[in-house]
Copies of this chain bind each other. A is one copy, B any other.
Amino acid sequence: ASLCIIVLTSQSALTNPLYGVRCDVLTVEIEHVDAVALEKLEKQGVVCEPKASTIAIIQDKYRQKGHFSKFGIPIADFVEVDTLSSIENAGEMFGYPLMVKSKRLAYDGRGNAVAHNKEELSSVVSSLGGFEHGLYVERWTPFAKELSVIVARSRDGCTVCYPVVETIHKDNICHVVEAPAQIPEKMKKLATSVAEKAIKSLEGAGVFAVELFLTNDNQALLNEVAPRPHNSGHHTIEACYTSQYEQHLRAILGLPLGDPAMKAPAAIMYNILGEDEGDSGFVLAHQLIKRALNIPGASVHWYAKPEIRKQRKMGHITIVGPSMFDVKAHLDRLLQRDTDGPKKVRPRAAVIMGSDSDLPIMKDAAAILEKFNIPFELTIVSAHRTPERMYAYALSAKERGLEVIIAGAGGAAHLPGMVASLTTLPVIGVPIWTKSLQGTDSLLSIVQMPKGIPVATVAIGNAENAGLLAVRMLASRDTELSDRVNEYQQNLEDSVLVKARLLEELGWDKYLEQCMKP
């Protein structure tokens, strides 16, 4: 009961005589194979996943665009060009810059060229080998980000989608992949639905990569599809419950699809591109890999290609970690960016106050955070005297990686509530004692928030408890930290028990005399 899977890795592999005899499933790791030959094999009863029809559509990018356009998938405007006059007409229609593309054998930036004006058209066409191999043009898409969604479809037609990633290109070659993409949930949903719809329009099982443009006006336009595991899914090996490779096998074999979710919060994939030809290229790559071995959460994949060429993908490094902030900091270290500066630590908590006169109280929150080794930032932000600063501070808090904000204020104490209204982070309010009303003004200003915007209020002047509350919030999914909170509470209990024993031993009069002297 052994199984034979044949993976087509190049055109020539199609001559393998095994197909008709004992191949159970035929799949591809490159779409530039003879689709007609594949179709013949299908007719002879060989199971191809995905189907030859899908390979035929995808390997011709012009046909691909036509297909997705027919199925109502959002894409940039495009038109076939076969003469200088037809491309000039297209230039007038779409404007410049104009994207000119080869229909076939285009990948990693090859087969794409940009004409910035009418005069450049003929040289761009010849750089792509002339009209005879087939060209088309596309309206230039000004995009904010390039995204990719890996979609898996099983033999029974079920699909699952991996979390949307951002792909960052360098000279048209994928260089960095950030997972998950740092974009609003709404945009992720949109990109995922476009990707899923595109794959549902194709035939056959397997893993597909859908590359998209996120435009400045928040559209997700499909760029192109690869009918196979893809560079934008390499991080899934370490970062997801099911890697794209296992998923592809599950899909083409008719097994249930695996969970595509990320098992770690953040990952970055960095392609090792050839920087130089020959030995010096290998030396550079070797230095990079050596540094990677010292980066926490980094895994090195070296493809052992026999030759190094400039811009060739020689391997990749995936960095997995507890937050995008952390993995980006690790990538900076890997690439020796900013190596002289002090090691960055992401503050997890913030302590802010309306005035420096609040510091003698608010320092207690800072002391608790220090005691529990929580990295934090501390500053003055006044709702009334620095409203713009407060606005900017609260709006950026989440993306700077903060997880909780402690805000102290007195009197008409608006800071905690205003900050809470500008962020989704939990905000803890510390009412500062006031001379006029003993802090009841602060307490009521902070605690009596309207429905919709909560502030976690602690006792008047009790910044220590604000710090402890922040620690509890951070500890609720962190066993090591919650054990330390437990220990802290145990120590509180112990210190009361010591006093109780002393009081019982000494009696009330001696205790007052010896232990309670001012």
State whether B452 touches A464 (Cβ < 8 A).
yes
Known: A261-B296, A424-B489. 17 other contacts (CB 8 A): A185-B483, A241-B296, A241-B320, A398-B482, A403-B476, A404-B473, A424-B482, A426-B469, A448-B459, A448-B460, A449-B458, A451-B465, A452-B468, A454-B468, A454-B469, A455-B458, A473-B473
Number of this chain's copies in the assembly equals 2
Give the shortest distance, in Å, between A260 (CB) and chain B (any CB). 10
Known: A426-B472, A457-B447, A458-B457. Contact between A452 and B489, CB under 8 A?
Answer: yes
B-chain residues with CB within 8 Å of residue A426 when the two chains form the complex: 456, 469, 472-473, 476
Number of interface residues of A (CB under 8 A): 67
B-chain residues with CB within 8 Å of residue A482 when the two chains form the complex: 398, 424-425
B-chain residues with CB within 8 Å of residue A443 when the two chains form the complex: 447
Q: Which residues of A contact B (CB under 8 A)?
A: 180, 184-186, 238, 241, 250, 255-256, 258-259, 261, 263-265, 293-294, 296-297, 320-321, 323, 398, 403-404, 421, 424-426, 428, 443, 447-460, 462, 464-466, 468-469, 472-473, 475-477, 479-480, 482-489, 492
Give the shortest distance, in Å, between A154 (CB) and chain B (any CB). 11
State whether A469 touches B456 (Cβ < 8 A).
yes
CB contact between A428 and one of B448, B456, B489 (< 8 Å): that residue: B456
State whether A486 touches B452 (Cβ < 8 A).
no
Give the shortest distance, in Å, between A192 (CB) and chain B (any CB). 12
A-B contact pairs, 19 of them (CB 8 A): A185-B483, A241-B297, A241-B320, A256-B294, A259-B296, A398-B482, A404-B476, A424-B472, A426-B469, A426-B472, A449-B459, A451-B464, A451-B465, A453-B465, A456-B458, A456-B469, A457-B458, A473-B473, A473-B476
B-chain residues with CB within 8 Å of residue A489 when the two chains form the complex: 421, 424, 452-453
Give the shortest distance, in Å, between A85 (CB) and chain B (any CB). 49
Known: A263-B263, A459-B449, A489-B424. Contact between A454 and B480, CB under 8 A?
Answer: no
